[in-house]
Amino acid sequence: MLVGFYNSFNFYGVNMIELDPVKYGALYQKVQDYERRFDEMSIKIDKLEANIEKLVEMANKSKGGFWMGMVMVSAIGSVIGYVSHWIGKS
């Protein structure tokens, strides 16, 4: 009886398995291809992690500049608002 990739024979109560070498070879090649693909994906994932770490470092470095810009824009907006309110009163 053909079951999957092998034939199974019952000989004195013991299952004897006969592998089909062609199907085994095809299965072995598929496994090798999958392992190669997993290795390639692992390398890509490592590169992505390194790039994400660089982005996080850049974001942390630019936090101070961002907040300084916010302070400057807020101060300029306040001065313009005060001047326009002062001009509007007269």
Q: Domain residues of the chain, as ranges?
A: 21-89
Determine if the pTM surpasses 0.85: no
Sheet holding 6-11, edge to edge: 2-3, 6-11, 14-19
7 - beta bridge partners?
2, 18
Give the model confidence (pLDDT) of 2-11 as tens digits.
444 445 555 5
Query: What are the C-alpha distances in Å from 15 to residues 20, 28, 46?
Result: 16, 23, 46
Per residue in 22-79, pLDDT (tens digit) is: 888 999 999 999 999 999 999 999 999 999 999 888 878 777 777 888 899 999 999 9
